[in-house]
Structure 1
Amino acid sequence: GFDRGVSVGNTLLDAYAKGGERGVAVARKIFDQIVDKDRVSYNSIMSVYAQNGMSNEAFDVFRILVNDKVVTFNSITLSTVLLAASHSGALRIGKCIHDQVIRMGLEDDVIVGTSIIDMYCKCGRVETARKAFDRMKNKNVRSWTAMIAGYGMHGHADKALELFPAMIDSGVRPNYITFVSVLAACSHAGLHVQGWRWFNAMKGRFGVEPGLEHYGCMVDLLSRAGFLQRAYDLIQTMKMKPDSIIWSSLLAACRIHKNVELAEISVARLFELDPSNCGYYMLLSHIYADAGRWKDVERVRMVMKNRGLVKPPGFSLLELNGEVHMFLIGDEEHPQRDKIYEFLEELNQKLLEAGYVSNTASVCHDVDEEEKEMTLRVHSEKLAVAFGIMNTVPGSTVSVVKNLRVCSDCHSVIKLISKIVDREFVVRDAKRF
């Protein structure tokens, strides 16, 4: 055990932080073997859980720490729990931590304050984040960047671009990450003129050398705006080798704009860079399906099968009474599954009455329309939304986080459900809100 060497145990915990499921299991075993756990021990294991998307486990450890009469927690502890809350969209827990921060007089702690801003933004409460930002007496570049990024991810590019000059005027110099946030905001809003202006000002005015992330934002910006050839030309002029993020941005835009030729060029580069990422195969499969090229769809699937590639399961998270619930597509494991499916059927009838027509193009299978419609009905985000409506008071907001991108049909359905039940839904996926 580590009872006579807690520092060794803490060091090992940190080493296993990014080791995936196996690393997490080993880290927990080490944590349990430390007899005289200190604050660092608790912070480290919570960080391991938070970094690996295991928010409930991080919250459980925090509850144990709160009840510990010997070990006290600090600003790093609170920032770690806020990180777990932001990853899972656990707004209620995030608010509780914010209350604890106020009680401890840590609102002016720049690390904690920035974590609060990030948590509220990622839980869909950007205006609450702004209030917390405005209350901060000491703001550093991370604080400003977190707020700019929050506006960008919610599609409020105008507010992000108003805040950026204010940051400069306050004497805080933007850094590498700040420009990623500014360019991402321009990309989400399709502001290619403003994006180009700030991209060109980076090095000349602020001395920040554009990196892969900045080029990635610009490629995404041009691609979203439909300038696929310009995006491809920009990639060709890069001083550094384009990474998978840049090529995948172009590939995703090729689906939107139905450009099979550029898609095949992009995916060829992606297969060289990251041949085991099944997401690229799936996206190419969707592009072929949209073009009606079912033989090519089957060919891509056979390549995936031969290489032993399996699509990672999509899941959606929803916090209720301090517990994060997970839903998979067609979930059969949740305790309330029968009630959820029954309620979904009722909602589906109301959707049809409201004029809803399913977008079966979201289903990449060469099957009949009825089967595609049935598949769409049980997507994880729809199950989470139904569960949220059933288990919260009328009029309250339902927040859902998905690990993959939300399909276009679910976007449309959730907007309609919002009108039908007179509720606000906050849905965050792998890309944005």
Structure 2
Amino acid sequence: MHTHNIYADSVTYSELIKCCISRGAIREAKIVHNHVFSNGYRPMTFLINVFVSMYVKFNLLDDAQKLFDQMPERNVVSWTTMIAAFTNVRDYDKAIGFLILMLRDGVRPNSYTFSSVLRACCKLSELRQIHCGIVKYGLESDVFVRSALVDIYSKWGDLVNAERVFSEMPTGDLVVWNSIIGAFAQNNEGDEALSLFKKMKRCGFSADQATLTSTLRACTGLALLELGQQIHVHVLKFNQDLTLNNALMDMYCKCGNLEDAQRAFSRMLNKDVISWSTMIMGLAQNGFSQKALEMFEAMKKAGIRPNYVTILGVLFACSHAGLVDKGLYYFNSMQKLFGIEPGREHYGCVIDLLGRAGKLDEAIKMIHDMKSEPDAVTWRALLGSCRVHQNIDHAVYAAKQILALDPDDAGTYILLSNLYAKSQMWEDVAKVRKIMRDKGVMKEPGCSWIEVNKKVHAFVLGDNSNPQLDEVIRELNKLILRLKQVGYVPDTNFVLHDLEGEQMEDSLLYHSEKLAIMFGMMYSVKGKAIRIRKNLRICGDCHVFTKLLSKIEDCYIVIRDPIRYHHFRDGICSCEDFW
């Protein structure tokens, strides 16, 4: 150009820099930068912004800031570029510092400035201050700002303000709808997320990938298989969207429908580590440990490198199948083979693995060898193993650790009381019960949910508010009588031992999962799987009851508790009585 006396202007240089960025040509981009600033040439602010942005995109933030500091004049684009840059690398203090300097410099922020800096808020107080600034500058109606506000409020668990921001929206916009639905779904408020989804549809908006991903997450948390299957129809419009397909698989896995999960997995043309990890964890949690390990081997053959969650699924599979040697091998080699540092969850799986196998001393040693401080969940894994193996000394030790971390954990008191009672240590039983009374610790009532005809029905132990409860109990009594005739005997080891014999048996008969199962048998389509979600771990008596029921009634029952999934069919459970 110069040989023809034609000289580049700012637009030409800008296009040249864009070309360098697209090709990752850092060296050439710097040559252009040096050329522009040679011979005392003073480029326009617009062009300097292009160079600042260039250094940011090449992740050369020191160079970007150096050039920014040398700018004779900075506009909103200059400041916003730097704020976004430091937000993206999680240097949040610096990002907010730039906003403060920007305001002192008298530059008015725009919607992009606030959308960027909102992600840098590390405290709820910072978020509220910036929200005030947004209102001050009249940007609260901007779609992207409003969406960012909803996202960040929900990140901090402040759903009240998230919903307030959403409800003040003067005109509807899909981006903001997605933000509020995602906010409730991510904060385990699935009912509200689904309610908003239905409201969005009534307002005439069509769901996109983000909407469906959040809605599937809500169905996952509530184990709403029927609704999830309806949403699957919408997913077909975005057939090969990876994130959406991963969410779909996760929903099926966590609703205990492994057949549809595997079908969705096999149809995916592209699978990432999340896809494989979702299936591995899903198979493991549903009691199909061997299939989970086979899936792990297939994943490695496909050239996909495992991540933190993958190994967690593998260890979970080993733990719940009693594969001690294999589990220890994967745990001890995960860092060497895959570069993954064992986390608290990995340790928890191995402690559970050792405890289930009766290696309680090794489990305790593993806890003491943990690099991070063991939490209550870790100690509960040990306590559960102590119950199985009736080891009072280790149980007391584990219980003390749990109660030091969670003094109001009713489950620990009850388990300890029952262990003492089984060993006829009645004075210790009385002490535990007195502590519970003095502290006002109450056992969380068992609650089970079942979805029938697109409606969720709840059954709570001791709650008589369900209008169909009397009818359900009548039918359950008849069923229990039939089961007793073929050998069912209620196992009273799973209730408080301060009850008399008949009282103990009665308290078992009407556990919430039994009521939910009976309701499902009465009102579900015959031959259709009965799927139950419950808030507490299934007790041994209900486990025996459901196994026997699945055999004599020829039915398929899936129970999801906080620990795992149990698939009952033909008198056998997928956990193989190892849970």
TM-score (normalizing by structure 1): 0.92
Structure having greater relative contact order (Cα 8 Å, sep ≥ 6): 1
- Residue 335 (str. 1) matches residue 431 (str. 2): no
The answer for the alignment partner of 1:115 in structure 2 is 247
Distance in 2 separating the partners of 1:82 and 1:297: 45
Distance in 2 separating the partners of 1:128 and 1:120: 6
Tell whether the 8 Å contact from 1:88 to 1:324 is kept in structure 2 after alignment.
no
SS at match of 1:382: helix
The answer for the alignment partner of 2:313 in structure 1 is 181
Residue of 388, 393, 401 corresponding to 2:520: 388
Distance in 2 separating the partners of 1:244 and 1:284: 15
Q: Highest Rg: 1 or 2?
A: 2
Distance in 1 separating the partners of 2:264 and 2:407: 43
Distance in 2 separating the partners of 1:219 and 1:376: 30
Cα deviation code 1:334-364 (max 9, x no counterpart): 1211211111111121111121100111111
Change in Cα spacing, 1:319 to 1:364, as seen in structure 2 (3 Å) is: same
Distance in 2 separating the partners of 1:187 and 1:308: 35
The answer for the alignment partner of 1:413 in structure 2 is 545
- Residue 366 (str. 1) matches residue 514 (str. 2): no
- Residue 65 (str. 1) matches residue 200 (str. 2): yes
**Could you tell me which amino acid in structure 2 is paired with residue 100 of structure 1?**
H
The answer for the alignment partner of 1:76 in structure 2 is 210
**Could you tell me which amino acid in structure 1 is paired with residue 208 of structure 2?**
N
The answer for the alignment partner of 1:164 in structure 2 is 296
Cα deviation code 1:370-427 (max 9, x no counterpart): 1111111111111111111111121111100111101111111112222232211111
Change in Cα spacing, 1:31 to 1:318, as seen in structure 2 (3 Å) is: farther
Q: How does 1:290-305 map to 2 (within 5 A)?
A: 290-305=422-437
Tell whether the 8 Å contact from 2:185 to 2:218 is kept in structure 1 after alignment.
yes
SS at match of 1:319: strand
Shift of 1:56: 3.3
Residue of 86, 95, 98 corresponding to 2:232: 98
TM-score (normalizing by structure 2): 0.70
Tell whether the 8 Å contact from 1:6 to 1:36 is kept in structure 2 after alignment.
no
**Could you tell me which amino acid in structure 1 is paired with residue 174 of structure 2?**
R
Change in Cα spacing, 1:383 to 1:196, as seen in structure 2 (3 Å) is: same
Tell whether the 8 Å contact from 1:88 to 1:318 is kept in structure 2 after alignment.
no
Cα deviation code 1:120-159 (max 9, x no counterpart): 1111111221111111111111110000001101221111
Runs of 4+ in 1 over 6 A off after TM superposition: none
Q: How does 1:172-321 map to 2 (within 5 A)?
A: 172-321=304-453
Distance in 1 separating the partners of 2:479 and 2:357: 35
The answer for the alignment partner of 1:41 in structure 2 is 176
The answer for the alignment partner of 1:376 in structure 2 is 508
Change in Cα spacing, 1:50 to 1:296, as seen in structure 2 (3 Å) is: farther
**Could you tell me which amino acid in structure 1 is paired with residue 177 of structure 2?**
Y
Tell whether the 8 Å contact from 1:3 to 1:33 is kept in structure 2 after alignment.
no
Change in Cα spacing, 1:48 to 1:310, as seen in structure 2 (3 Å) is: farther
Moved more, 285-294 or 193-202: 285-294
Tell whether the 8 Å contact from 1:56 to 1:324 is kept in structure 2 after alignment.
no
SS at match of 1:275: coil
Tell me the percent identity. Answer: 43
Change in Cα spacing, 1:37 to 1:255, as seen in structure 2 (3 Å) is: farther
SS at match of 1:137: coil
Moved more, 10-19 or 416-425: 10-19
Residue of 526, 535, 547 corresponding to 1:403: 535
Shift of 1:192: 0.7
User: Size of the alignment, in residue pairs?
Assistant: 428
Tell whether the 8 Å contact from 2:143 to 2:175 is kept in structure 1 after alignment.
no
Distance in 2 separating the partners of 1:354 and 1:3: 68
Change in Cα spacing, 1:18 to 1:373, as seen in structure 2 (3 Å) is: farther
* CA RMSD, 1 decimal: 2.2
**Unpaired runs of at least 5, structure 2:** 1-134, 566-579
Residue of 127, 134, 141 corresponding to 1:4: 141
The answer for the alignment partner of 2:476 in structure 1 is 344
Moved more, 324-333 or 29-38: 29-38
**Could you tell me which amino acid in structure 1 is paired with residue 179 of structure 2?**
S
The answer for the alignment partner of 1:89 in structure 2 is 223
Residue of 264, 268, 287 corresponding to 1:155: 287
**Could you tell me which amino acid in structure 1 is paired with residue 364 of structure 2?**
Y
Distance in 2 separating the partners of 1:204 and 1:387: 51
Distance in 1 separating the partners of 2:504 and 2:165: 47
Tell whether the 8 Å contact from 1:133 to 1:143 is kept in structure 2 after alignment.
yes
SS at match of 2:367: helix
SS at match of 2:482: helix
The answer for the alignment partner of 1:428 in structure 2 is 560
Moved more, 319-328 or 250-259: 319-328
Distance in 1 separating the partners of 2:149 and 2:452: 33
